[in-house]
Homo-oligomer: A and B are copies of this chain.
Amino acid sequence: MMTENLTLNMNAYLPLRDVVFHTLREAILKGDLKPGERLMELQLASRLGVSRTPIREAIRMLEQEGLAVTIPRKGAEVAKMTLKGMEDVLEIRESLEELAVKLACERITPEQLKKLWEVKESFEDCIRTGEVKRIAEADVLFHDVIYEATANPKLVSILNNLREQIYRYRVEYLKDSGNYPMLICEHKAILEALEERNIPKAIERMRAHVANQAAAVREMIERQE
């Protein structure tokens, strides 16, 4: 049974389909809507106080993002993530994070480098507070700055999509405070390589960083099963 309190953030002028899309997306990523849970149009419509039309359009969008799966005439449900599926995502992500950091090396602006230092500091602050949610956000922000520095919006959107798919599991990784010292160190190392614009070094360090996360996520999923 679903007991969560889904509410719409009625930002006035966005079409309802977009508001519903963002709401459901958040709910899936936060785990309020669990993998395998059915997304029934009438139920969601009444819970969100809209008609079925915007719900259906939002589901079509979630579907293309890989967050929902629709079976014709049966309905949609929250996508389940298998160990294999996770491995697949991590495999691609390793490749594209390396591309991203390579491009960032070539294209990052002084302003973006400055921003990255600030974000790195803020990440360390968040770790000192120990609040997992803020740590996760700061970590996301660090990578976001690098993504932006690639000046390749299409790449940014693919990387964001891949991150989204492992989000639920990655948060667990960040709950283990034993990982914090290494994380701080890795971020620092990547940032330094970017500052030197040393592509091989940056790629190597990013590879290690992503590989560590990947290993942790894999371990976590195996533990779950």
Contacts and interface: CB of A to CB of B under 8 A. Distances in A.
Contact of A99 (B56, B92, B153): B92
A88 B56 contact: no
A96 interface: yes
Interface in A31-77: 53, 56-57, 60-61, 63-66, 72-73
A128 interface: no
Interface stretch (A10-18, A140-148, A181-189): A10-18
A200 interface: no
A57 B70 CA distance: 13
A179 interface: no
B63 A152 contact: no
Nearest to A159: B92
Interface residues of A, number: 31
Contacts of A14: 72
B88 A154 contact: yes
Contact of A95 (B56, B65, B99): B99
A65 B15 CA distance: 20
A199 B57 CA distance: 43
22 contacts: A13-B72, A14-B72, A15-B72, A18-B72, A56-B57, A61-B63, A61-B64, A64-B64, A64-B65, A85-B154, A88-B153, A88-B155, A91-B99, A92-B99, A92-B152, A92-B154, A92-B155, A92-B158, A95-B95, A95-B96, A95-B98, A96-B96
Identify the 7 closest CB pairs spanning chains A and B, nearest first: A64-B64, A60-B60, A95-B99, A88-B154, A88-B152, A57-B60, A15-B72
